[in-house]
Amino acid sequence: MDGELSCPDDIIVPGSSAEPEADRGISTLFFAGVIAVVVLNLFSAQTLIGVIGPAIGLPPSAYGLVSMTTMLGYGAGLILLVPLTDLAENRRLILRMLIGDVAALAMASLAQTSLLFLIAGFFIGMTTSVIQMLVPLAAALTPAAQRGRIVGNIMSGLVLGALLSRPLAGLIADAFGWRSVYGISACLIALLATVLAFTLPQRRPAPGLSYGKLIGSLWSLLRQEKVLQLRAATSGLCFASFNIFWTTIALRLTAAPFHLSAQGVAAFALAGAAAIFMAPLGRTDRRSRLDAAGGRAVGAAGDGGHAAGLAGRQYSSGRAAEDLFGRDGGRRHAARCRCDR
C-alpha cells in the first residue's frame, strides 16, 4: 500500500505557498490509515450491544438500537453531508466533521441515559461519513491511469478498520469497560484531526449547483444510471447482510449454550479479518472474477435472513466459519465498485 498522491491544479497543500508544483505528495498508506481509524467507530458497537444495552437502561428487545442508530446516522451523513464536498472547501469540511465526531464519541462515553447515548450514536454515524469525503479527495489527487490501483489500496484501509473494529472493541471493553471504547476513539480522532490540519491539502470545488439542487440531483442520477442502480442495489444488500449478521451473532454468542464474554466475541470476530486480503483484488482483476463477487454479494444478502433467526436455534461452528468467510465476497465487490468510479 505504498505510493504517493500528487496534487492537481485545484489542490493547494498547506505550507506550499499555494504552489501545487511543490508536490509534497501524500502517501496512500497515510490515507488508508486515517480511514481505518475513523471507520472503527461505525461497527465497534455491534459486538457490545449485549453489554451497552443494559448499562444504559434499554430493555432486551431494544438492544439493537445501540448499533442501529449509528447506521441510521451514517446513512443520513451519506445523503445530506457527503455532497457538501462539491460545495465547500474539502479540507475545512473534513476537519469540522472530525471535530464533530470527537464530540459525539465523548458524549457516548459519558452518557448515563439511553436517550443521550442513542443521540450520540446517531451523530457518531453521521460524522463517520467523513470517510466518504476522504476517499474522493484521494481519488482527486490521483492521476486517472493510477486511480483504480490507488483507491483499491486505500479501500484496504477501510476494510481493515471495519473488520478489526469488532475484535478491538471487544478486547478494550473486556479490559477497561465499554465506555473506554468511545473515550479512546475520541482521543484517536482528535489526534488525527490535528495531524490532518497540517497535512491535508485544500481542495476548492468549482462553483455549481446549490445544496438543494445538488441533493435533488442524486435521485435523478439514480433514476437515469442503470450501472449506478446495480451498484447501489448489490452494495446495499451486502451492507445490510453484513450488519444483520454481526449485530445478531453478538447476542447469540453471549447467550446459551456459548456464554462468551466480550473477549470471546472479539476472538470470533477476529477470524473475519482474513477478508482484508480480498480488497486489493479490486486493482488486479476488475472484471471477470469480480463480476462473480458482485453476484455473491447479492446472495450474501439472503444469509442475513439466516443470521436474523440465530437467536431461536442452534448455531454450529461450521456454520460460523461459513458465515465469517462468506463475507469476503461483499468486501471484494465493495473494492470493485470503488475502482470503477
> Dihedrals φ, ψ of 16, to 5°?
-100, 10
How far apart, in Å, are the Cα atoms of 217 and each of 179, 209, 224, 246? 40, 9, 11, 34
| Termini Cα distance of the chain | 19
Give the tens place of pLDDT for each residue, 10-34.
Answer: 554 444 433 333 334 467 888 889 9
Q: Is the peptide bond before 257 cis (omega within 30 degrees of 0)?
A: yes
Domains of the chain: 4-339 (1.20.1250.20)
Comparing CA positions, the residue from 209, 192, 252 lying closest to residue 37 is 192
Separation of alpha carbons 261 and 48, rounded Å: 10
Give the tens place of pLDDT for each residue, 157-215.
Answer: 888 888 888 888 988 998 999 999 999 999 999 999 999 999 888 888 888 778 888 88
Measured from the Cβ of residue 110, the count of other Cβ atoms closer than 10 Å reads 13
Residue predicted with more confidence, 316 or 151: 151
Give the tens place of pLDDT for each residue, 205-216.
Answer: 888 778 888 888
Confidence (pLDDT) at 214? 86
Separation of alpha carbons 183 and 185, rounded Å: 5
Give the tens place of pLDDT for each residue, 69-106.
Answer: 999 999 999 999 999 998 999 999 999 999 999 999 99
Please give the helix or strand (H or E) that residue 18 lies within, else none: none
Confidence (pLDDT) at 26? 61
Residue 279 predicted with pLDDT over 60:
no
Separation of alpha carbons 247 and 67, rounded Å: 7
Percent of the chain at pLDDT above 70?
Answer: 71
Look up residue 93 and give its three cell numbers. 469540511
Percent of the chain at pLDDT above 90?
Answer: 31
Separation of alpha carbons 232 and 230, rounded Å: 6
Number of H helices, E strands in the chain: 15, 4
- Percent helix, strand and coil across the chain, each rounded to 5? 80, 0, 20
Residue 306 predicted with pLDDT over 70:
no
